[in-house]
Amino acid sequence: MQAAAHTTPVQFVPRTAIAARGAAPLATNCSACHLKELCLPCGLPGEDVERLDQLRFARRRVKQGEALYQAGEKFGSIHAVRSGTFKTVLTLRDGRQQVTGFHMAGEMMGMDGLATGRHASAAEALEDCEVCVVPYAHLTQLAASNSSLQHVVGRLMSREIVREHSLMLLLGSMNAEERLAAFLVNISQRLQARGYSATEFHLRMMRSEIGSYLGLKLETVSRTFSLFQSMGLLAVDKKHVRILDMERLSSTIEARVH
């Protein structure tokens, strides 16, 4: 397929495919999206962001508890979270599930399908969500003649590597207190980058899902939350968390990281 001229928008996603996936044509272009500084266009000059507008992505709504894609499903698109929170999950051979990540607005999912052409994990909505469906083949086609867009594709893959390394650090060298502190500080920083409070937020995931991600038993997660409360670091009401002492919470992991 030959790339279209810059002046002619190309609809890369057939309407039949959009309907089949429960998606709708995208009304907002990348250049006008409020998440562009966090998402796919991040770091691109204006003219290259406008080139992304040639890709008419689809937008898909995913209800709480529904899967965006399943493990083993054929890979064709990456997904940019527009609103809501997802978890990604690997199913082990014995049937146990391992949470591998939590993804919020402005973050990309689905790159795990690049290696084999099929998704290695499943992605499930932790609340009502909306995503932009980005056809990967057409993104790379558009990037083929543009070094800035090639850098974007490379950066997306690099993010996956960094995320894997971060998880290895959590599971391999930190104790329970350090793991939970690192998790809460990470959530805080990500929410702050999106314009939300860094010290007061609602966790969309259950304690058991946090435990799965951090490699901790549910009882250990609950006990560590209680410990942080008794130390005056947090105030917790079910899933609602208020960080009372960010400096002390951060210092719990700084010595280990540095």
Per-residue pLDDT at 181: 95
Predicted confidence at residue 43, as pLDDT, reads 60
List the chain pLDDT tens, one digit each, 258 residues.
Answer: 333 333 333 333 333 343 344 555 555 677 677 776 667 656 666 666 777 777 667 889 999 999 999 999 999 999 989 999 999 999 988 888 999 999 999 888 998 898 899 999 999 999 999 998 988 888 888 778 777 777 777 777 777 777 777 777 777 789 999 999 999 999 999 999 889 999 999 999 999 999 999 999 999 999 999 999 999 999 999 999 999 999 999 998 865 544
Full 3-state SS string of 215-239: CCCHHHHHHHHHHHHHCCCEEEECC
Q: What is the pLDDT of residue 4?
A: 37
Q: How far apart are the first and last CA of the chain?
A: 49
Residue 156 main-chain phi, psi, to 5 deg:
-60, -45
pLDDT score at 103:
94
pLDDT, position 38: 66
pLDDT computed for residue 2 by the predictor:
38
How far apart, in whole angstroms, are the C-alpha atoms of residue 40 and residue 213?
25
In this prediction, residue 14 carries a pLDDT of 38
d(CA 4, CA 54): 9
Q: Can you give the pLDDT at residue 230?
A: 97
Which domains does the chain carry? 15-168 (2.60.120.10), 175-257 (1.10.10.10)
How far apart CA 14 and CA 93 sit, in angstroms, is 36
Distance from chain centroid for Cα 104: 5
